[in-house]
Amino acid sequence: MMRIILADESHLKAIIKVIDLAKQIMIANGNTTQWINGYPSEEIILQDIKQNHAYVIMNNEVIEGYFCFLRGENPEPTYSSIEDGKWLNKDSYGVIHRLASSGRIKGIAAACFDFCFSQINNIKVDTHENNIPMQNYFNKIGFEYCGIIYVNDGSPRKAFQKVL
């Protein structure tokens, strides 16, 4: 049975292991340029944990997934500007970052999105243009493509939003 809990520092090694497995899945699916150069690092995950934005998805007490979830008036500053489109609304929203699955079980992304939509009905996300499986998943669960945003390092990401 899957459950989602707020992560703490005792989960760090298991989270990094899940992220490493997720990187292998990304590479196997042709996405060789998104999570590179040590991203996401232990330091970033620790920051997520300290800010109470880090969640683990557990199955039978084994960590199988990880994500960072922020919500509020403008939780993601890089979403303030969008090119070649527009957001669906200007309401408070949630944003999911660093969604990672071990790949050992199915349903990690669904569990993450179900949990996040139970917290807020307006969610924005972004992904690298090479992350086709994630783009397909966004489309499958009803997210709308909104345009291009730029992350902190200046690289573009495809942005999506869904409002329940």
Percentage of the chain modeled with pLDDT above 90: 85
Residue 135: which of 55, 31, 48, 41 has the closest Cα? 31
Coil, strand or helix at 98: strand
pTM metric for this prediction: 0.94
Residue 140 to residue 50: CA distance in whole angstroms: 33
Cα angle, residue 108 at apex, residues 102 and 112 outer, rounded to 5°: 130
* DSSP string for 32-81: -SSS-TTPSPHHHHHHHHHTT-EEEEEETTEEEEEEEEEEESSS-GGGS-
d(CA 102, CA 32): 17
pLDDT at 34: 84
136 Rama sector, left if φ>0, alpha if ψ -120 to 50, beta otherwise: alpha
Q: Give dist(CA 151, CA 164) in Å, integer.
A: 26
63 sits in the region (left: phi over 0; alpha: psi -120 to 50; else beta) called: beta
The mean pLDDT value for 95-100 works out to 97
Domain that holds residue 25: 2-163
CATH number at residue 105: 3.40.630.30
Which whole number is the average pLDDT over 46-72? 97
Mean pLDDT of 81-106: 97
Total domains in the chain come to: 1
Q: What is the pLDDT of residues 128-160, one digit of tens each?
A: 998 998 999 999 999 999 999 999 889 999 999
pLDDT band, very low/low/confident/very high, at 164 (cuts 50, 70, 90):
very high
